[in-house]
Structure 1
């Protein structure tokens, strides 16, 4: 079944995914029953889900990128990141416990997060012009939580599911990006006192500003822009780690402080 971008099927798919999130119940991928479900339609489903979220009171506050590492892109057979929307309902205030009762199978990954001081409109945005629009960079942790059973999905499935968005925590230190070498900014991932992974900003498209430029240009193709005041999660620097009840996950950045999740 192929879904047109304005078809009732787009609305139905968005409602199915939101219902899974609300019920904290996983489901089979959409492509299991809609084998012709394509990427363009998947973004239409994502946008319709955002419309439904806003209708129930959520506020759009930015975007997130997914699959920004070269290795992850190769595994999925793509050459550019995925995009998803951020709303205020996804903010987890620092120090608050992970809301396991609201999540299916949460995982955490360290991210570099940009706060935009200027509007960015593609096409033609470069890494340099993208970075010029950033007023501050933060460290953060994104909690991803696919609505698909066992994180099994194809590319259109994960796009429709808003790139597995769930929650995110912003770190305590915001710096002018011109004062930090973001390719060398490192993150150490700690689980229950043990360092389990490490990476630098170079893992994100070679430089996180390149990911930001790709986001602006991809949105530009859809007639959209990155707005001043928005947050942009530039993508996981390492593989995601499972967040178990009672566990403690932390990301320690070179210059951007530490972020801790109380599982």
Structure 2
């Protein structure tokens, strides 16, 4: 869907607010009412932004909104310069928008190899995944109300993404039951969530399948090496500058970051 003049205006307003770190008290234009309208804004912003996309976040659409928006997931870009290494003891500082929305989420990260043109299902999509890691997604937008107006609004501003922390790889992912893996999330040492991936619809591979199909429908290329941040496992945990987030997967794979204002 080609962006209208209004959608281009919204894209430019979000880009300006992100570049200038200026909070938005209101949505900067007509709110998108469909996912197609949301992705038109998103695509326009990506084109204007000019940075390389190194991955895509996938988020869940609330069950009561699935019929209205025609699906149960949404996606947004993760730019290469905002993908940070959280291995080997590294605890990267991740920037969020002062006066906007900020949260951190424990996520499983899937790296896509050569996707090609073949059709996939929930099982065969694993054939194009060459690595699985633990990680933390940072969600942030200069619009504090981004998640209060439905998934189309969330998707329109990069899906509310502001970076990704790459944690340790899961070496035996092909042979183990990822859905049963326990995950804990802490902020400043206090446990704020725990769950398994059984709560994630059809799991992380379902997120990869959704992303491939959605990007193809939008005419977006999927080069090898793209990361899929597969969705919040323990919840969307709001966070403020100065705090630290820690995720622990299977009691042994740890990844952490701190949060600072941009």
TM-score interval, normalised by the smaller of the two chains: 0.7 to 0.9
Separation in structure 2 between the aligned mates of residue 249 and residue 218 of structure 1, nearest angstrom: 30
The answer as to 2:9 corresponding to 1:12 is yes
| C-alpha spacing 1:133/1:208, structure 2 compared with 1 (3 Å) | same
Cα deviation 1:123-145 (Å, max 9, x = unaligned): x4211111111111001000101
- Please state how far the C-alpha of 1:29 moved relative to its aligned partner: 2.4
| Contact 1:121–1:220 (Cα < 8 Å) also in 2 | no
| Contact 1:29–1:153 (Cα < 8 Å) also in 2 | no
Q: Which has the higher strand share?
A: 2
Match of 2:79 in 1: 87
Trace 1:51-130 onto structure 2 (pairs within 5 A).
Answer: 51-54=47-50, 58-67=51-60, 72-77=61-66, 78=69, 79-94=71-86, 95-100=91-96, 104-119=100-115, 121=117, 124-130=119-125
| C-alpha spacing 1:255/1:132, structure 2 compared with 1 (3 Å) | farther
Aligned partner of 2:153 among 127, 143, 157: 157
| Contact 2:185–2:193 (Cα < 8 Å) also in 1 | yes
Separation in structure 2 between the aligned mates of residue 192 and residue 172 of structure 1, nearest angstrom: 21
Matched residue count: 250
| C-alpha spacing 1:39/1:132, structure 2 compared with 1 (3 Å) | same
Aligned partner of 2:19 among 15, 22, 36: 22
Tell me the secondary structure at the aligned position of residue 118 of structure 1. coil
| C-alpha spacing 1:249/1:37, structure 2 compared with 1 (3 Å) | same
Cα deviation 1:150-204 (Å, max 9, x = unaligned): 3432332111111101111010224253133111122101122222211112222
Separation in structure 1 between the aligned mates of residue 251 and residue 202 of structure 2, nearest angstrom: 19
Separation in structure 1 between the aligned mates of residue 252 and residue 5 of structure 2, nearest angstrom: 45
Separation in structure 2 between the aligned mates of residue 209 and residue 141 of structure 1, nearest angstrom: 17
| Contact 2:96–2:141 (Cα < 8 Å) also in 1 | no
Match of 2:142 in 1: 147
| C-alpha spacing 1:201/1:169, structure 2 compared with 1 (3 Å) | same
Q: What is the RMSD computed on CA atoms of the aligned residues?
A: 2.4
Match of 2:227 in 1: 231
Trace 1:199-210 onto structure 2 (pairs within 5 A).
Answer: 199-210=195-206
- Please state how far the C-alpha of 1:93 moved relative to its aligned partner: 3.5
Match of 2:209 in 1: 213
Q: If the length of structure 1 is used for normalisation, what is the TM-score?
A: 0.85
Match of 2:176 in 1: 180
- Please state how far the C-alpha of 1:224 moved relative to its aligned partner: 3.5
Tell me the secondary structure at the aligned position of residue 257 of structure 2. strand
| Contact 2:187–2:244 (Cα < 8 Å) also in 1 | yes
Separation in structure 1 between the aligned mates of residue 117 and residue 173 of structure 2, nearest angstrom: 20
| Contact 2:97–2:141 (Cα < 8 Å) also in 1 | no
- Please state how far the C-alpha of 1:225 moved relative to its aligned partner: 4.7
Match of 2:162 in 1: 166
